[in-house]
Structure 1
């Protein structure tokens, strides 16, 4: 397999972005911290290997912070997520962001391990946040990964 190449997405990448989001989430809508995003309309980084899209990271930049809205590796455990997160941190530094941050849920143990191994710290917990998210997106399940009740949002950050 070839090396992973990460680049900023352009208008011509819209269909590929939608395809990754739909395959991962069944929608392009992301609900986090009470905000609703159409992730297909956000700025994005694409990871490619041998000319094929193997990952996607969508983000926003506001108040000198880069928020990762979604991170998807088409091929798990192959370095794609790490390459995307590293590229996002580099982008954040280039635009003088003070931190990179994101939200995950209490059941997402794989993500918690992944982010913490890359230097991110848990800085906040929003108990019951998923109940509010379900009012916007009723299809969010009550039980998440590993049979864990899906209840809370956890904020992780990396100081840049």
Structure 2
């Protein structure tokens, strides 16, 4: 597996992966609608085939992971992408890597916490508000859990991961 910064040549594959994973290129979190195809990205590839994608927004010495997709789980793709994003953040002098997930995303909560991210905020009703920007967000999420809230997780750069 090769992990690298995305290039213009990856645009079609990135667009396809985002549409398959998110239903569109638009990702909404904390009241902001991002067109993920316009964000910097890190890709994972095997045999020149895209097998993972992480998009991010680097601002004010913080790296926000906007989307992360590893369609085939338990192969190390998500971990490699997150590690690469941490290195991008570190190289940019960022003090924090952070992201938003939703209250139904139990698998993601397990994944992120096992990789050293901590839950630092819960925003009740934030997904309900995001639905105003992206009406296609379902009312019921993973495991049949009603989808209402955002959870903020962060990794402070320079601190060691505790697995």
Please confirm whether the aligned pair reaches a TM-score higher than 0.5, indicating the same fold: yes
State the distance in 1 between where 2:5 and 2:68 align: 14
State the distance in 2 between where 1:49 and 1:75 align: 12
State the distance in 1 between where 2:57 and 2:130 align: 19
Residue matched to 1:74? 71
State the distance in 1 between where 2:49 and 2:11 align: 14
1:125 aligns to 2:125 (yes or no)? no
Residue matched to 2:58? 61
Where 1:47 maps in the other structure, the secondary structure is: strand
State which of 117, 139, 144 in structure 2 corresponds to 1:142.
139
Runs of 4+ in 1 over 6 A off after TM superposition: none
Residue matched to 2:152? 155
Aligned-pair CA distance for 1:137: 1.1
Residue matched to 1:116? 113
Give 5+ residue unaligned stretches, structure 2.
Answer: 158-163
Task: Tell me the matched-pair count.
Answer: 157
Aligned-pair CA distance for 1:65: 0.2
1:102 aligns to 2:99 (yes or no)? yes
Q: Which deviates more from structure 2 when the two are superposed, residues 148-157 or residues 135-144?
A: 135-144
State the distance in 2 between where 1:138 and 1:23 align: 17
State which of 12, 26, 29 in structure 1 corresponds to 2:23.
26
Where 1:59 maps in the other structure, the secondary structure is: strand
The alignment yields a C-alpha RMSD, in angstroms, of: 0.7
State which of 6, 14, 23 in structure 1 corresponds to 2:11.
14
State the distance in 2 between where 1:16 and 1:42 align: 14
Aligned-pair CA distance for 1:39: 0.1
Q: Which deviates more from structure 2 when the two are superposed, residues 9-18 or residues 99-108?
A: 9-18
Aligned-pair CA distance for 1:75: 1.6
